[in-house]
Structure 1
């Protein structure tokens, strides 16, 4: 390890973040002014190779635009932004057009810097942002100077991103998920055929306090005790990098005889299959920018028991949806992903969630609502292009 690398590693995480993003903001290409019309090459830039929510959003937008007759170009920033293994080389045509970046505010100048001055010159820049709290960290302010417009996946996010002097954010939801399960069944996941299975999906490295698997475990205990006929499956990934927060969840889960943990990597089709094997999806989150797992469960015709606050309220409506009451409390995140002591998020009512689980388990008809097809986003309208 070089001396500079050693000194860098000794700096506090916040100082490293500020140094990196501050330097990127100084060096990033400046936007064309006034805002270009945007016709020309259409580029979807983001973490196309990453398993994160931003990565899923970028991939789905790319596929949906192509299905809609548009011809977007993919620019994969995964490797340069250290979000996963490098993808294919980034090739963006020079000249006019529109670049949509699935890169959140603090890293948006870095995204422009990665694309390069010639790629950015003359193009309209649209930031596709997602965030989970009703306030933004200060370092997001850099992102406003690095884009002409902002798209958000939900009304909750759009309200957070609104700023005087900047065009109002447009709500452009994620494309409706299209189920594509593999042939795997319950037996292949080690689940008994006759049990009532509740499923909770989350990334252990994102913020366990926000995803709240401890709330799901406690809700399941209040609903069913130690009944072997009622299982809770925690599907997660990234546990090797989640530290003490995951150790606490793992210990609580291990103490419950009817809680199973699946931490192995699964393909997208196997994740679809696992969701199809469940009787209900449980998401007692404290905040969501959108809620992809809930939308996917609804597309499969699975009931959803979820906190009735934040991004998922845009679409979590109708038969099979069980929004759980909540109260706002100070946001506390030991993992530091949401290090905003003054911000607040939702604390779900676990007794109400347990009652919803018991109702679904007791009534098979209630547990199998019709699959829900969410509305498709109007990309041409959001871009201002004729149909």
Structure 2
């Protein structure tokens, strides 16, 4: 009706004037109230896992869902993938095979979406799906505390799995005794790079490549690519045998952030922007083709980029703060010092009362880059050590224990 559209516009303008945090809180409350709640008591056993959420998206939670699906297959646990999250118009979606069977009536439902949008995700699934199932949220968070918009989702899950101790410490006060650390089982579901060479990315064969890989949908300030650019330029200036590759996801949707990146690069001939929406296999190919992977993040709830780089045998330079410290140390990477500062995110996403995050030491990072660039033997040795450490640290013990705890015992192939 023509009149209804006109009447809606003032309400929409009023809604847009609310601070982002307030909008997220009210959306979380409304969707959580409308979403179907699970049974009061979770089943003691389950027959398989429904892996739902952002499983088709080019996002950290999407990749975590795909990793879990592959790991469950390796453990011979029945699994059913299910997309249940918002997508961004025009984004590349990962090909997900449709399940050939109907999920078991007692299969646990593991939702790889964060708490503020859990209710919305459940509303995209069949209404009766939670009935008779153990409901598990798989959440990742990057600060020491969670904002109020996370609280309403507590009624929608029996328990929460998280990828790191760092995230667990933030969420435990919200759901006491209901949080379990289940790191990504990358050794059971290793990255599978596409068969591509440097020419496919327009990159020179002989130069030392430093890769910084991130999505603009995952908070520009937290990923902190400007620090990476600063460290690279301090280390190499405009040397054309040293190339910085900025692999930027969702670039088309964040024009202001892209402008900041271009201004920081200042037309440097040795800084390459890769803004195509790559598949996971293409992204892994770019990682494998790089010599050094650099992550001067301010905070990580896990750190899939450094972790997958370690799995692929790359030398990793990363901020020595938050969840990456649980798997990257001086024996298998080059941790970079930092100072803690209040967490401030202009988008209002990565913020919580009293939270701090790290400002990496770009001078130390520049020295680390220079050392590794000039020493191919040291890069190779560090990459080998990283691969060995990753095979142990991402071996799937946490997932096996979690499955056993919910009565879904895995069977590892002989």
| TM-score between both structures, scaled by the size of structure 1 | 0.91
Counterpart pick for 1:160 among 167, 170, 174: 170
**Contact 1:228–1:258 (Cα < 8 Å) also in 2:** yes
1:109-120 superposed matches below 5 A = 109-120=119-130
**Residue 262 of structure 2 corresponds to residue 250 of structure 1:** yes
Distance (whole Å) between structure 1 residues aligned to residue 267 and residue 175 of structure 2: 53
Within 2, Cα distance between the matches of 1:184 and 1:274?
Answer: 8
Counterparts in 2 of 1:382 and 1:142: CA distance versus 1, 3 Å: same
Residue pair 1:245, 1:334 contacting (<8 A) in 2 also = no
Establish whether residue 275 from structure 1 lines up as the match of residue 287 from structure 2: yes
Conserved? CA contact 1:92–1:119, under 8 Å: no
- For residues 247 and 204 of structure 2, the distance between their equivalents in structure 1, rounded to whole angstroms, comes to 16
The partner residue of 1:290 within 288, 296, 302 is 302
SS in 2 for 1:183: coil
After superposition, the Cα gap between the structure-2 partners of 1:182 and 1:114, relative to the gap in structure 1 and judged at 3 Å, is: closer
After TM superposition, give the deviation of residue 320 of structure 1 in Å: 4.2
Matched pairs, number: 385
Pick closer, same or farther for the CA change 1:164–1:295 going to 2, 3 Å.
Answer: closer
Q: Distance in 2 between matches of 1:271 and 1:253?
A: 22
Question: Which residue is 1:105 aligned to?
Answer: 115
Alignment partner of 2:318: what SS?
strand
Could you list the per-position Cα deviations for residues 330-373 of structure 1 after superposition, in whole angstroms to 9, with x for gaps in the alignment? Answer: 11222332244632111111111111111111211111131332
1:9, distance to aligned residue in structure 2 (A): 4.0
Residues 1:348 and 2:348 are matched in the alignment? no
Greater alpha carbon shift after TM alignment, 237-246 vs 138-147: 237-246
1:377 matched to 2:381? The reply is no
**Cα RMSD (Å):** 2.5
Quick one: distance in 2 between partners of 1:119 and 1:187? 47
Q: Gaps (5+ residues) in structure 2? A: none
Higher relative contact order (CA 8 A, sep 6+): 2
CA contact (8 A) 1:245 1:335 kept: no
Question: In 1, Cα distance between the equivalents of 2:267 and 2:248?
Answer: 18
Please tell me whether residue 315 in structure 1 is matched to residue 327 in structure 2: yes
CA distance in 2, matches of 1:184, 1:159: 40
- Tell whether 2:375 aligns with 1:363: yes
Shift of 1:237: 2.0
Residue aligned with 1:120, SS: coil
Separation in 2, partners of 1:19, 1:46? 21
What is the CA deviation profile of residues 260-292 of structure 1, one whole-angstrom value per residue up to 9, with x for unaligned ones? 111112232222221122110000000111111
**Aligned with 1:71 (options 78, 82, 86):** 78
> Quick one: which of 137, 147, 155 aligns to 2:147?
137
Q: 2:65 maps to which residue?
A: 58
Higher helix proportion (structure 1 or 2): 2
C-alpha distance after superposition, 1:124-167 (max 9, x if no partner): 11111001111111110112221111111011111111027632
Uncovered stretches (5+) of structure 1, i.e. residues with no partner: none
Measured in 2, the distance between the counterparts of 1:50 and 1:129 equals 16
Q: Determine whether 1:40 maps to 2:47.
A: yes
Equivalent residue number for residue 228 of structure 2: 216
Deviation at 1:41, TM superposition (A): 4.8
Q: 3-state DSSP class of the match of 2:124?
A: helix
Question: What is the CA–CA distance in structure 2 between the aligned matches of 1:133 and 1:14, rounded to whole Å?
Answer: 15
**TM superposition shift of 1:306:** 0.4
